[in-house]
Amino acid sequence: MANECFTQVRILGEKSEINKVYEMLNGLEENNSNWLGDFVSALGGDPDEVYCRGDFENVDLISDTEIGLDERSAWRPMVEVWNFLQSIHDVEVYWIAEEGGCGYYATNDAEGKVFTERYEVYLGDSTEYFDTMEEVLNYANELFKTSGLTEDLLRKIINGSDHEYRLNEYEVVDYNGY
């Protein structure tokens, strides 16, 4: 069985373009057609030609110019689907993905236009997300009731601990698929 990759997707554009895409995605979701291949077909494409191993859910019209949704896929985000969408509609697609089994943490949002977080941290009870290493270190210093932690020292604590601690950095990627 493939490892699941969880991806948050944001689609930005002019109101008319966003309305078209939202109606398409929302209509598919309402009809329980959440497979990304159904979306590719609705766009006029062939799911055998656009890699689309995954599905989507939680389609949300965030504003007149932004749609949000969640994608679940195998191993990695299905960037080919979103690139195909961008080839047909005048929209920008940003995503942030995590697949913990293979340690894949990535985003295509280099400027932090939508997704500003760059670190995923688990130090005990909950997973937290941070934009900068400075924020991570402040959080860790507070949690461990200490001061002066550096990134190297925190990584040594995480790697040498019997606890299930994690510190993952989202790689900023710039590609049009694999």
Distance CA 124, CA 114 (A): 28
Please identify which residue in the block is written with the tokens 């509609």. Answer: 89
User: What are the sequence ranges of the domains in the chain?
Assistant: 4-110, 119-168
pLDDT for 170 beyond 80: yes
| Token reading at 153 | 């020292």
**Would you say the pTM of this structure is higher than 0.85?**
yes
Q: How many CB atoms lie within 10 A of CB 137?
A: 18
For residue range 61-102, list pLDDT tens digits in order. Answer: 999 999 999 999 999 999 999 999 999 999 999 999 999 888
For residue range 24-37, list pLDDT tens digits in order. Answer: 999 999 999 999 99
Mean pLDDT of 124-142: 92
| CATH 3.10.129.10, domain 4-110, yes or no | no
With the C-alpha atoms ordered 126, 111, 95, 64, is the resulting torsion angle positive or negative?
Answer: positive
Task: Tell the burial category of 46 from Cβ atoms under 10 Å away from its Cβ (0-12, 13-18, 19+).
Answer: exposed
Mean pLDDT of 158-177: 82
The long-range contacts involving 54-63, CB below 8 angstroms and separated by at least 24 positions, are 54/5, 54/78, 54/81, 56/9, 56/25, 56/29, 57/29, 59/22, 59/25, 59/26, 59/29, 61/18, 61/22, 61/26, 62/10
Structure confidence at residue 177 as a pLDDT band (50, 70, 90): very low
Instruction: For residue 72, give the nearest of 25, 10, 6 by alpha carbon.
Output: 6
| Residues in the chain, total | 178
